[in-house]
Amino acid sequence: MRERTDRRDFLRASMLGAAGAGSLLSLEEKTLASALEDGATNKKASTPVGPSAPAYEGEPLPKGKLGTIEIGRLVMGGNLIGGWAHSRDLMYVSNLLRAYNTREKVFDTLALGERSGITMIQIDPACMEVVEAYRKAGGKLQVMVCIHPDTDESKVREEVHGLVDRGAVALYTHGEVSDRCTRGNDLKTLGRAIEIIKEAGVPAGIGSHSLETTIAAEHHGLGADYYVKTFHPDTYWSATPKEKREEWCWYGPRSLDHDGYHDNIFCLDPERTADFMRSVNKPWFAFKVMAAGALRPEIGFNHAFRHGADFVIAGMFDFQVATDVEVAVKAIKRAKVRERTWCA
C-alpha cells in the first residue's frame, strides 16, 4: 500500500508541478500519469488506457531473473515504437507504424503493458528518449538496450556508460553487429564489448540472428551473461524453403527469387537452435518468435517457451497487449515440463 501511495503522490506532484510551471509535462506525459494512477489505485480497472485497449486482468505474468533483476517473462519489444517493420515486400508498413504510433500512443501502449504485468521493454538506443520521457512521467518499465560493438573501445565505452546513466538496467550487443563480428572472425571486438558492459555494472548479453554467433561466443568463452537470439518455427507460407536457406542471408541483398530470402525468415534452423541452447546454462531471450507477424502469438509463444526460451521479446500494438500477456501466461503454464531447464 505504501508503494501505491508513493506512486500516486509522485504522479500528482508531477502533474501539479507541471500546472504551476506551465509546461514541465507534455500532454502525452499528463495522459500517461493519469493512466498510471488509474492502474495504481485499481489494478483490475477496466478503463482503457487508450481509445479502445483494455488492460490484461488475469493471472499474473510469471517472472524470472537476470542476475538480481526480476523480469516478467514477456518483454515488450521496441521495433514497433521505432517504426522498424520486417514487412517482406510491403513498402508502406514502416511509415504506417510511425503514423499510428504517435508519441501519445506510445505512452498509452507502455502504460498498458505495465498495467498488464509487463516489467521490461527492449529497445534500440534511438528509442531511449521516448522511454526516458515515459519514466519521467512515473512509468516503471525497466529498460534493456542493444549497443554497437566497435574496434574503437572509447566509442563503445561512451555508448555503454551513456545508456546506463540514462536508466538502462541490461545491455546486449546488437544482433546484426554481433553477426558481422562473427562472420568477419572478429570475436575480440565482440568479447571486449561484453567486458565493457560488465565494467559498467549491468548484465551483458549477446544478440544475434545467426546461431553461429551464439556457438562462437560459448566456444571462445566471451563471457556473456545471457543471449538474445531469434527463434521461431518455420511453418508459415513465406518462410524460405529449407534447401534455399543461406547463412548470413540477412546482410546481403534481398532475393528477387520467390523462394529466396526477402526479409522473411529470422531463425534458419529452429531445431538446431533449440538443441544447442539446451547445452547453454544462461538466460535466453527469444525474439522474432512470431517471424515478424507471420505467426500468431499462440504459435510463436508456445513454441519459444516449450523449446527452451526463458523470456520472449515481442513487439505489440496497444490493442494486442492484453491478448499477448494472456497468451504468454498460458504458454508458460504449458511449458512447465520441457527439455531445457529454466535458466532464469
What pLDDT is attached to residue 24?
46
User: 10 — alpha (psi -120 to 50), left (phi > 0) or beta?
Assistant: alpha
Residue 79's closest CA among 327, 317, 322, 332?
A: 317
What pLDDT is attached to residue 33?
52
CA angle 10, 11, 16 (to 5 degrees): 100
C-alpha cell at 146: 542493444
Contact 206, 194 (CB under 8 A): yes
Residue 227's closest CA among 204, 250, 247?
A: 204
What pLDDT is attached to residue 36?
52
Strands (E), the chain: 63-66, 69-72, 74-77, 120-123, 142-147, 168-173, 204-208, 226-230, 284-287, 311-314
CA angle 184, 187, 192 (to 5 degrees): 135
pTM recorded for the entire structure: 0.86
Residue 213's closest CA among 260, 271, 267?
A: 267
Residues 139, 42: Cα–Cα separation, whole Å: 16
Sign of CA dihedral 108, 114, 117, 120: positive
Residues of the chain with pLDDT under 50: 1-25, 27-28, 31, 39-51
Distances (CA, A) of 124 to 8, 129, 144, 175: 30, 10, 9, 11
